[in-house]
A and B are shown apart, each in its own frame.
Chain A
Amino acid sequence: MDPTQINSGDTAWVLTSAAMVLLMTPGLALFYGGMVRSKSVLNMMMMSFGALALISVLWVLYGYSIAFGDDLGLGLVGDPTQYLGLEGLMAEPKGVALPPMAFVGFQAVFAIITVALISGAIADRAKFGTWMIFAGVWATLVYFPIAHWVFDFSAGEHVGGWVANNLLAIDFAGGTAVHINAGAAGLALALVLGKRRGFGKDPMRPHNLPLVMIGAGLLWFGWFGFNAGSALAANNLAAVVWVNTLVATAAASLGWLATERLRDGHATSLGAASGVVAGLVAITPACSALSPVGSIILGLGAGVLCALAVGLKYKLGYDDSLDVVGVHLVGGLVGTIGVGFLATDAAPAAVSGLFYGGGVDQLWRQVIGALAVMTASFVATYIIALVLQKTVGFRIDEVDEIEGIDLSTHAETGYDLHSSSGSRTGVGPLETSSAAPASPDRATSDHEGKVTT
C-alpha cells in the first residue's frame, strides 16, 4: 500500500466506523430512556438528541480546531482559529492515507456521545434550555481541550496534547477523554442539581427494560466502530481491537450478573445490559494494549467493580440517577489504570504492564492521566454548572418535576395507550395563535394515574 495516496479501504472503514459511533448516541438515548420513569422518557432521550444536534455544529465551527489544531502551549489546547469552519480541509489531500475530513467526522461523534453520556446523572429534573447551554459550554471548555490532551498526537511540524505526547499514557479510544471525563462531569452535575424529589424513598424503577436492552445492543454494535475504528485504518490493529472489545464486554456482563446473583439473589436484565456497558467502557482505553485473555480479566473486573460501585450513591447520598459515575467513571478508571497492570508487549501497543514484567513505568503514567482528566473535568464542570444554576437556573420547578418533565418541558407524553385520551383543540399550527403549553390537568390524569405508587 502506498501511504502517500488515499487508501480506499482505510477511508471506507473510518467513515463506516464514524456512522456506527453516531448510532451510539440514539442507542444511549434508548438505554437511558428506558431506565427513567415513563413521565420523563422523552426528556431523557432529548438530552442525547440535543447534544447530537448542538455538538455537531460546534465541532465543525471550532471544536475540531481546539482539539486538533496546533498546540498553543503546554499541550493543553489547540489553536481554535487554525481549522475554523473546516474551510481548509475540503481540498483533495496529498501525502496521506486517510482524508482529514474522515478523521474530522470520526472525532465529531466522539464529542457528541461524551456530552450525551453526562445527561444520565441528572434525569427527570434539568431545564432543557440550561442543559443545551451547558452542553455547548462544557464541550467548548472541557471536552475539546481534553480531547486535545489525549487524542492529538504530534506529527512532523504538528504539536499535539500532553497526555498523548509527554505523559505517554495509553488511552486508545477514550477511557480518559470520554468516560472518566463524562463520569466526573456527571458527578459534579448531580451534586450541583441535587437529588430528585423522592430520591431514596419513591420507587424510581426503570419503566421499560426492553428499551434499555435495545439501547445496550446498539451501543455494543456502535462501539466496534468506536474502538476498532480508532485504529484509523483497516488493518491488524483494528482486528485485534475488535476481538478484545467483544470478549471484554462479554466477560463484564458475566461479572455483573454473577455479582447480582450472589448479592441480590437474581441475575437481572438491567444487570446484563449494565455489565455490557461497563465492559465496553473499561476496554476502550485498553483494547490495543491487552491480549484477548487479558481483556477477559479486565472485563470481569469491570463488571464486578461497577456492579458494586452503583450502590455508592445511596451510601454517599448523591443522586447520579442512571449511574454515570458507577459505570463510566469507575469503568473508565478500571480500564485506564488496568492498562498499567495488564498490558502485554505481544499486543499492538507493545507495552508491558506490571503483571507482564514491565514494572510500574506504564502504571504511573496511566494513574496520572486518569487523575488529571478526572480532576480537571470535575472542577471545571462544577464551576460551569454552579454558574448556570445561579444565573439561568438548572433545575425545573418542583410541581413540574412531580407531574413529569416531559409534559412541563416538552408539552408531550411518551406513551398514549388510551384511544379516548382527549380531543383536538386546534386545527393546525397557524390556528393556534398563542403558544399555550398543553394543559397539565388533562394529560396527567390519563398517563400518570396508574404509574405512581
Chain B
Amino acid sequence: MLTFLLRRLVTSVVTVVGVVVIVFFLARLTGSPANLYLPEGASPERYEQFNREHGFDLPLWEQFVRFLGGVLRLDFGDSIWQQRPALEAAAEAMPPTLLLALIAMTGSLAVAVPLGAAAARRRFRLADRVITLSSLTTASIPDFWFALVGVLFLSIQLGLLPTSGDATVASWVLPVATLMLAPVGVLTQVTRGAMIDALGSGYVQNARARGLSPSRLVYRHALRNAALPLLTVAGDRAAGMVNGAIIVGTVFAFPGIGTLIVGAVLNRDFALIQASIFIVGVAVVLLNILVDLTYALADPRVRIS
C-alpha cells in the first residue's frame, strides 16, 4: 500500500512539473505584455525599462532557469495585473471554486445514483427509457447557454434569483445547477450501465435465488460493485469542474479560479496564468490520488496488484 502511494506521488510530481514547463513556454509565445501595460505611444526607453523590470529582456533559457528556481521556492513572481504575488492570488481564488465543485458533485451523485439504479431495475421499460433519454439530454445541454437561459427566466423575467455574484444563497443556485448539468447526465448513465452488469452477475443471481428482497438486492449487493466505475467517472468529472468554473465565472461573475484565469489570460499576466494552472494541476493530481486510494480501499484486487 505504501509503495503504491509512493509511486503514485512520484508520477504526480513529474506530471505537475511537466504542466508547469509546458505552460511556461506557451505563455512566452505571446511575446512581452508591454504593449498591453504601457500607454499608447510610450517611448522605446519606457518599453525597455518595463521589459527589464519584469525580466522579459533576458534570453528565454535564462528566464526559464529563473522561473524554475522560483517554482522550487513556490515563488511564481508577482502578478502584473493584480500587483501582488501570483500564487497568493491564485490560492485565494481556490476555496470558492472548491466549495462550488463539492456542492455540485455531491448534488450530482445524489440525483444520478438513485435515477441510474431505478433505470437499471426497470431496464428497457418506460421508466428506463424516460430516464435514459433525460440523462442524455442533460449531458447535451451547452452549460454556458443553460446559464444564460437560467438568467433570462429566473432572474430577468421572474426576478427570483440575482444575476451575478456570490453574496447570497440564492446566487449559488444557478452556478451549482450549471455545474451539475453534465455530471448528472453522465453519472446516471454510468450507474445504469454498471448496475445492469452487476444485476446480471452470478452473485446477485445467487442472492436473488436465496430470496432476498429486490431493494436489498439492488442497494446492498449490486450498488456496491457498481460504485467502482462510478468513482472513476465522478473523479474525472470533478476535475472537469474547473471547465465549468470558467463558464460560471464568465456568465455570473462568480468569484473563483475560473474568473481569475480568464482575467489573467486577457491581461497577459504570465505569472498569474502559471500560478493558477499550477494550483489547478496540484488539485487535480491530489484528487486523482484520492480516487486511486478509495479504489484501493474498496477493491482488494487493486491493492494486491
Our verdict on whether A and B bind, yes or no, reads no
B residues adjacent to A (C-beta < 8 A):
none
A residues adjacent to B (C-beta < 8 A):
none
